[in-house]
Amino acid sequence: MPNKLPPSCVLLALTLLYAGERVFDGKMRTGLNRVGMATLGVGLLLALVRIMRNTGDRRKAWAEVFFDYLVVFVGLSLYATQRSGIVSSGRLFTLLQVCWPGVLLLGLLPAIAQEMAM
């Protein structure tokens, strides 16, 4: 399995989610969002397999990258919570609006840097 497959899946997932949220409406939007989340899940699964196939220091390094991908997932989950209408107004809604991009970047930027370094 190529080592660059997990980050490719994660970046493709983010691209699909962006297109689904900003470019399309209706069924196309829902479809792209579902495909994007499924692609993110595949990327996380491939990153987990990559951890299991390595030993020693490389295993620890790939585990850190996997953790960063989980932080990206948490950021997207915060966005989905805010977007779904579960929290429709008030301070919690504002907190979600402000926090999700930071959490997403907090996971994505170190993951990209570590992927490029390995």
Q: Tens digit of pLDDT for each residue in 1-43?
A: 467 888 999 999 999 999 988 898 889 998 999 999 999 999 9
Question: What digits encode the pLDDT tens for the residues 66-110?
Answer: 999 999 999 999 998 888 888 888 898 899 889 999 999 999 999
Predicted pLDDT at 83: 86
Predicted pLDDT at 99: 93
Q: How far is residue 47's CA from residue 10's CA, in Å, rounded to a whole number?
A: 10
Q: How far is residue 68's CA from residue 109's CA, in Å, rounded to a whole number?
A: 9
Max CA separation in the chain (angstroms) = 48
Predicted pLDDT at 87: 84
115 Cβ contact partners less than 8 Å away, ≥ 6 residues apart: 4, 7, 65
Predicted pLDDT at 67: 96
Place of tokens 């470019």: 23
Answer for the pair 79, 99: CB distance below 8 angstroms, yes or no. Answer: no
Residue 118 has pLDDT above 90, yes or no: no
Task: Specify the number of domains making up the chain.
Answer: 1
Domain that holds residue 107: 5-117
